[in-house]
C-alpha cells in the first residue's frame, strides 16, 4: 500500500492534486497524482516505499484545504466476485498489524453515481466487520497510540480501494462529511457554513471559552442573518453589517444591532473590543484578504472566520496567493497567529478561513 486516496467535493480534483503534490514535496515526499475529473477523489502514488504511510502520519489532514479524508491504499481491487468480496479485501490487509485497528468503514466518493452504492456499503459492512474480527482485527481502542481505522472506498460495483487512516489524523465523519441538521428557526441555509466552520476550527472543548455571552461579534455581509444566528445562539452580541434586511427573529433576540453600512468601510464602535469578525461578502478574494488583514493588524478583532469566493480558473493558485498575503501581513506586524483554511462540505465555489491572533511580539 503506497498510495493515498484523497476525498474531495466533485470538481475539485485538480486542486487536490496540486495541493497534495505541494504538501508532500514540503515533507520530502514525491509522487504522482492520478485523477479523473468529477470523480470526487484523487490517488497520489508515492515513488518510495513506505512514503504513503509516512504522509498519513506526518501530513496534518487539517492543513489540507481541499481534502476531506486521506487514507493509505494499495491498488484498485477490481471484479470482486459477487459470492466472496471479503477474501480479496482480507488478503489486501495481510501486511498490516491487525491489533492496531479499531473500526472499519465502507464508503464511496461523494458523487451521485457512487452514492447509489451506499445501501450496499452499509449492508456489506456487517459481514466484513465480522470476518475481520474473527481474524483478530478491530480490537484496538480508537484512542490507542497509532491505532488505525480501516476504510474501504467503493468507486463502482465490485471495485474498491482497501485502505486505512491513523485515528489521530483522520476525519471522524463518514465520507469526511459532517452531517449537520438545518435549524428550523435559522434565517438562511448559509447558517450551516458557519456552524461547520466552528466545528472544524474550534475544538469542542474550547467552544464555551472562545464563543460566549461576554463577547461581541461583527458580521460583514450579514443579511438575512444565518451567520449572525450562529453567533447569537452562542450568546454573542453582534453588529450585523449589510444594506439588506435582517430576519425579524434576530432583532427579537435583542442581541444584534443592524448597521446598514458598507462592510469595507465599517469600523468597530469606539471603546468596543470585538472578539469575533465573520465575513461572508461575495467579493474578489484578495479584496476580502486585505480587509481581514486590516482588521487583525489594527487589533479590531481577535478571531475571524471568513469566506474566500473562488475564481473560475486557477482556484488553488488564488487561494495560495490570498493565504500567503495574510501570512506576510500579519507576520510583518509582529503578530502571533494560527491560520487554517478548508473547503467545507457546505462551501461550494469558496473556501472558509479561520485566523486567531494569539499575541504580538513586543
Query: Which residues are annotated binding-site positions?
Result: 190, 223-226, 242, 262, 280
In degrees, to the nearest 5, what angle opens at C-alpha 181 toward C-alphas 219 and 102? 115
Q: By C-beta, is 283 or 329 nearer to ligand SAM?
A: 283
DSSP 268: P
**DSSP string for residues in 137-193:** -S-S-TTSTT-EEEEEEEEETTEEEEEEEEGGGS-SSGGG----PPPTT-S-TTHHH
Q: By C-beta, is 188 or 333 nearer to ligand SAM?
A: 188
Q: By C-beta, is 61 or 281 nearer to ligand SAM?
A: 281
Query: For every residue of 87-128, which 3-state class applies, written as one string?
Result: HHHHHHHCCCCHHHEEEEEEECCCCHHHHCCHHHHHHHHHHH
> Which residue is nearest to ligand SAM, using beta carbons?
226
Query: What is the DSSP pairing of strand 335-342 with strand 301-309?
Result: unpaired
Q: By C-beta, is 54 or 233 nearer to ligand SAM?
A: 233
The C-alpha atoms of residue 122 and residue 107 are separated, in whole angstroms, by 8
- Known binding-site residues for S-adenosyl-L-methionine equal 190, 223-226, 242, 262, 280
Q: By C-beta, is 60 or 262 nearer to ligand SAM?
A: 262
Q: How far is the CB of 331 from ligand SAM (least distance, A)?
A: 27
Q: Which residues are catalytic?
A: 309
CB < 8 Å & 24+ apart, contacts of 19-28:
19/64, 19/65, 19/66, 19/67, 19/316, 20/44, 20/64, 20/67, 23/59, 23/63, 23/64, 24/51, 24/55, 24/59, 27/54, 27/55, 27/58, 27/59
Would you tell me which residues interact with ligand SAM (CB under 6 A)? 187-188, 190-191, 221-227, 241-244, 262-264, 280-282
114, 177 in Cβ contact below 8 A?
A: no
138, 102 in Cβ contact below 8 A?
A: yes
Q: By C-beta, is 130 or 282 nearer to ligand SAM?
A: 282
**DSSP string for residues in 203-242:** -GGGHHHHS-TT-EEEEET-TT-HHHHHHHHTT-EEEEE-
Amino acid at each position: 500500500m503506497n498510495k493515498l486516496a484523497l476525498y474531495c467535493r466533485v470538481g475539485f480534483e485538480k486542486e487536490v492534486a496540486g495541493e497534495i503534490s505541494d504538501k508532500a514535496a514540503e515533507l520530502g515526499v514525491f509522487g504522482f497524482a492520478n485523477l479523473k475529473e468529477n470523480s470526487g477523489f484523487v490517488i497520489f502514488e508515492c515513488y518510495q516505499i513506505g512514503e504513503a504511510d509516512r504522509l498519513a502520519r506526518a501530513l496534518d489532514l487539517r492543513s489540507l484545504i481541499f481534502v476531506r479524508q486521506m487514507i493509505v491504499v494499495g491498488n484498485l481491487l477490481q471484479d470482486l466476485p459477487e459470492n466472496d468480496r471479503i477474501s480479496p479485501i482480507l488478503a489486501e490487509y495481510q501486511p498490516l498489524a491487525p491489533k492496531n485497528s479499531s473500526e472499519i468503514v465502507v464508503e464511496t466518493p461523494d458523487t451521485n453515481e457512487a452514492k447509489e452504492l451506499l445501501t450496499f456499503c452499509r449492508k456489506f459492512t456487517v459481514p466484513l466487520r465480522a470476518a475481520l474480527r474473527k481474524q483478530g482485527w478491530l480490537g484496538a481502542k480508537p484512542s490507542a497510540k497509532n491505532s488505525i481505522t480501516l476504510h474501504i472506498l467503493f468507486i463502482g460495483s465490485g471495485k474498491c480501494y482497501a485502505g486505512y487512516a491513523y485515528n489521530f489524523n483522520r476525519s471522524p465523519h463518514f465520507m469526511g462529511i459532517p452531517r449537520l441538521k438545518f435549524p428550523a428557526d435559522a434565517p438562511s441555509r448559509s447558517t450551516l457554513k458557519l456552524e461547520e466552520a466552528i466545528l472544524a476550527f474550534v475544538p469542542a472543548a474550547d467552544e464555551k471559552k472562545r464563543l460566549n455571552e461576554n463577547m461581541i461579534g461583527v458580521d460583514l455581509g450579514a443579511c438575512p442573518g444565518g451567520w449572525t444566528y450562529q453567533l447569537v445562539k452562542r450568546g454573542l452580541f453582534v453588529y450585523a453589517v449589510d444594506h439588506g434586511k435582517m430576519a425579524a427573529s434576530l432583532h427579537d433576540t435583542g442581541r444584534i444591532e443592524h448597521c446598514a453600512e458598507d462592510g469595507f468601510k465599517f469600523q468597530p464602535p469606539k471603546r468596543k473590543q470585538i472578539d469575533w469578525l465573520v465575513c461572508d461578502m461575495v467579493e474578489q478574494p484578495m479584496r476580502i484578504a486585505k480587509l481581514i488583514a486590516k482588521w487583525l493588524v489594527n487589533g479590531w478583532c481577535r478571531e475571524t472566520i471568513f469566506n474566500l469566493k473562488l475564481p473560475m480558473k486557477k482556484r488553488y493558485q488564488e487561494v495560495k496567493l490570498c493565504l500567503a498575503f495574510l501570512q506576510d501581513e500579519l507576520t510583518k506586524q509582529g503578530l502571533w497567529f494560527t491560520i487554517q483554511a478548508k473547503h467545507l462540505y457546505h462551501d461550494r465555489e469558496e473556501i472558509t478561513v479561520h485566523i486567531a491572533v494569539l499575541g504580538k511580539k513586543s
